[in-house]
Structure 1
Amino acid sequence: MTPEDILSHPPKSLTQAQREAYFEHGFLSVERCVDDTWLGRLREATDRLVERSRSVTASDAVFDLEPGHSSAEPRLRRVSSICDEDPVYWSFLTESPIVGVLQDVLGPDVKFYQSKLNFKWPKGGAEVKWHQDVPFFPHTNDAVLTLGIYLEDVGAEQGPLMVVPRSHREEIFDHYAEDGTWTGDIQSADMGRVRIGEAAELGGPAGSITIHNYRAVHGSRPNLSDRGRPLLLFVVSAADAMPYTANALKSRYEQTVIAGSPARHAHHTGGTYLIPPDWSGGYTSIFALQQREGTNKAPSAQAGGEPAGMS
């Protein structure tokens, strides 16, 4: 759906000013949006995942481990496909008032794409370099976003999400290195065109949410504080936005309609994008990709620098 289509529907949870701010800047932050009851359930589910990770000794399709992770002292970077790992997360996404928030910025018909839980463990939780989401999972239109929920209070020292305003209206950057390796971040030669000095820092008290369009440039600093920063992340889209490529984070819920009805037509916006690597085998996390843990080469069509067309 287009922003105009979405805004033609009356708001359910957000104010009209908040909706317009999202479309203008490419992101939105709402403090204390999740009530204490849901927040408690989400924290309990997260504690269960951390407890499970104690028996994990190497990163796998679910748990991405920080260096130094151990049974005695778990240190996680990510848990992937959390909706498949604990039913509380799926219940939250489909049964809580957050559904109305999603409809306010995606339209009445909303579907699920992927979920994850990114940690920044105290004293060294990894940074996330500047990047966009669209190069990872391009869709037929731009009504695609990531919803984040802070499970704990998050201040500047914990490495909150940062987003460059209006970058969702600007260029889509190459996330491949010159040798054709996928790095998952904007290349250093292009960073001069990114308005990092204007980036907004989206911290907030526990229960706050962040929403950013999948074209928006975003990242976060390392967590050098004494407090952790668990951040739930759900990628959702308008029902008429269709993915072009395989989903790296497999889920039995992928493409499930969580509000409204399935789309009868796909909505296409024009554009030419680089195709990401073949994610059909999955990957552990953006942390592993950006830290160059393993390699992901560009498809052969990109080897000579030619982009693949999508329109």
Structure 2
Amino acid sequence: MIEISEVSKSFNGWQAVSELSLTIKEGELTVLIGSSGAGKSTMLKLLNRLLEPDSGSIRLHGQNILEYSPQQLRRRIGYAIQSVGLFPHWTVEQNIGAVPVLLKWPKARIVERVSELLELLQLAPEKFRHRYPHQLSGGQQQRVGVARALAADPDLLLMDEPFGALDPVTRASLQQELANIQALSGKTIVLVTHDIEEALALGQRIVLMDQGRIVQQGAPRDFLLAPANDLVREFVGQSDAGIRLLGLDKIADRVRRQPAIPGEPIRSSDTLRQALSVFITRRVQSLPVVDERGQPAGVLHFADLLEPPR
């Protein structure tokens, strides 16, 4: 899908990205993570030609991105950023439909696409399509920004700290919606964050950068179980590694198919980390579990948290 080969970019003698090579698979959600100045956002801007590399090459579906005009490329790539950047005097519908209008989609198709995306992002179309950005909360504006990035059904979605300015509850909700969108659509997504919790929650693959170079890349479990060096250990918080490992697995992966027991049930779609919190607050050894339809799914025992992943 994306082949980055020995790409470098500097600004006034400062090396933002240094001989970086990376392959991003189609349909994968890749998270670029690192501290401020690591080169994450620069790399993202190089992917859609907001910046041009000093050296090296970037290929999209086997074609060098320099062979596209910047306009052609950006119409194939969705881009969502923390500041959202909605046009203040345009309605939600006009903001989401901006790129499809440029692509000369039929009006009926644009209206249909706007409705589809608003529903996907938990915004009732009849309620929100004619509102203006100042009439929306921060979380609603961010949802509209994501919808706009997805509007033309791009090959690739780039997201630069998209949820960084949101409160924890709204942020968690949007993270879950993004995970759902990726699972349903199979979109290739590259997301930049400095938050290890967000990276572990969303990333199918994590790429940790430092001083413009890749320090380690791999699945979330690799970072927690086999950090490459002290920098990675410090970044993932080795003292919290066990708790974070529980956040990678679902209750459904460990639940025992047993008759229901008394008590308020937990959901099979929740993580083992969430289950641990319930075990501790209720001071119990077993919890009833229900599936997404609210039907009994079995029982989770405290000892099940220690079992290896299936």
**TM-score, normalisation: structure 2:** 0.25
Larger Rg: 2
- Per chain length, whose mean CA-contact separation is higher, i.e. which structure has more relative contact order (CA < 8 Å, sep 6+)? 1
**TM-score, normalisation: structure 1:** 0.25
